Amino acid sequence: MSHNPIGRNDPCPCGSGRKYKQCCKDKDIAWEADESGNVIRRVPMSEELAEAMTAHMEQLKGHYGRELEDDDLLFPDMQLEHIEHQMSQAMQQVGIDPALIYAFEQTGLVVSEQNQDSISDVDLAAWYAAIEEYRNRAGLPMQDYPLGTVALYGPDETTTTKLVASILIDAQSEPIQKKFFGDHVDDDPQVARQVVEFFREHGVKKSVAMDGNIGCPHEEGIDYPLGDVCPQCPYWHDQPEF
């Protein structure tokens, strides 16, 4: 059966209500539609889920009484609730955080730094909401992560032409970023709404904003050579680096 890509102006299949080009088009999500219009999504397996699946497959060797073969069913009982239960047990056995297991049971997802760009904003919001629900029910303290930050840049200390919103899922993760450009972008209400929505979709628990511009809006190695100073922003040449 052939599959067709989703059109830029079609409603996004994630259910956000936005057009595909304004939602999941730039994410690493493989949405496709078949000839009947049914939409499917191809999702890569996260490291955590792969580890749980490995443990589950070891158990299956006992079920079959031999090494697994290519045509063996990974879930002999194909009822969805039983599959989720087996996966939850496998996740418990490898020591995954109970809050993450609860989020999996509620959403069917396992979100990690490696696969978060392959998950729609709607599903990410549901995932983080489930984690928060578990922690509230268990009486656990609020977490600092995901942490959101806002940094401002401009040609001098008073004119802001670039805003970078970043999200850290944990202390070791690489930031997820959105960049905004424009004259006095820090005073643009539309940008402010987009930053709030960006943080909300990723379940940000705490946010930190820099006070004023922290540097030049141009990027070393991209807008000018590595090791040089920006030729367009002489104001920052003698300023201390952040």
Residue 33 token pair: 């539609």
Residue 241 lies in a domain: no
Residue 196 token pair: 């709030």
Host H or E run for residue 193? helix 189-201
Q: Tell me how far apart the alpha carbons of residues 229 and 214 are, in angstroms, rounded to a whole number.
A: 15
The answer to whether the beta carbons of residues 39 and 13 sit under 8 Å apart is yes
Residue 223 lies in a domain: no
Q: How many domains does the chain have?
A: 3
Q: Tell me how far apart the alpha carbons of residues 45 and 30 are, in angstroms, rounded to a whole number.
A: 13
Residue 222 lies in a domain: no
N residues, the chain: 242
Residue 127 lies in a domain: yes
Q: Tell me how far apart the alpha carbons of residues 181 and 119 are, in angstroms, rounded to a whole number.
A: 26
User: Do residue 121 and residue 78 come from a single domain?
Assistant: yes
Output the pLDDT for position 64: 80
Identity of residue 162: K
User: Do residue 130 and residue 59 come from a single domain?
Assistant: yes
Q: Tell me how far apart the alpha carbons of residues 14 and 193 are, in angstroms, rounded to a whole number.
A: 21
What φ, ψ does residue 17 adopt, rounded to 5°? 90, -5
pLDDT, greater one: 13 or 114: 13
Residue 82 token pair: 């039983």
Among 108, 137, 166, give the residue marking a domain's end: 137
User: Do residue 52 and residue 132 come from a single domain?
Assistant: yes
Residue 111 lies in a domain: yes
- Among 17-31, 60-74, 154-168, 193-207, which range has the highest average pLDDT? 154-168
Q: Tell me how far apart the alpha carbons of residues 55 and 75 are, in angstroms, rounded to a whole number.
A: 13
Residue 152 token pair: 């401002």
Output the pLDDT for position 127: 83
Residue 167 lies in a domain: yes
Q: What is the mean pLDDT of the chain?
A: 82
Arithmetic mean of pLDDT, 128-145: 79
User: Do residue 174 and residue 206 come from a single domain?
Assistant: yes
The answer to whether the beta carbons of residues 229 and 220 sit under 8 Å apart is no
Residue 235 lies in a domain: no
User: Do residue 127 and residue 52 come from a single domain?
Assistant: yes
User: Do residue 161 and residue 196 come from a single domain?
Assistant: yes
State the residue range of the domain holding 103. Answer: 47-137
Arithmetic mean of pLDDT, 75-90: 69
User: Do residue 33 and residue 101 come from a single domain?
Assistant: no
Output the pLDDT for position 52: 79
- Among 41-55, 58-72, 90-104, 185-199, which range has the highest average pLDDT? 185-199
The answer to whether the beta carbons of residues 42 and 32 sit under 8 Å apart is yes
Residue 78 lies in a domain: yes
Share of residues in the chain with pLDDT > 70 (%)? 89
Output the pLDDT for position 1: 47
User: Do residue 70 and residue 115 come from a single domain?
Assistant: yes
User: Do residue 62 and residue 124 come from a single domain?
Assistant: yes
Output the pLDDT for position 177: 92
User: Do residue 117 and residue 68 come from a single domain?
Assistant: yes
The answer to whether the beta carbons of residues 74 and 49 sit under 8 Å apart is no
Which residues, listed in sequence order, are joined to residue 4 by a DSSP beta bridge? 33
User: Do residue 174 and residue 161 come from a single domain?
Assistant: yes
Q: Tell me how far apart the alpha carbons of residues 61 and 68 are, in angstroms, rounded to a whole number.
A: 6
* CA R_g for the chain: 22
Host H or E run for residue 136? helix 121-137
pLDDT, greater one: 231 or 203: 231
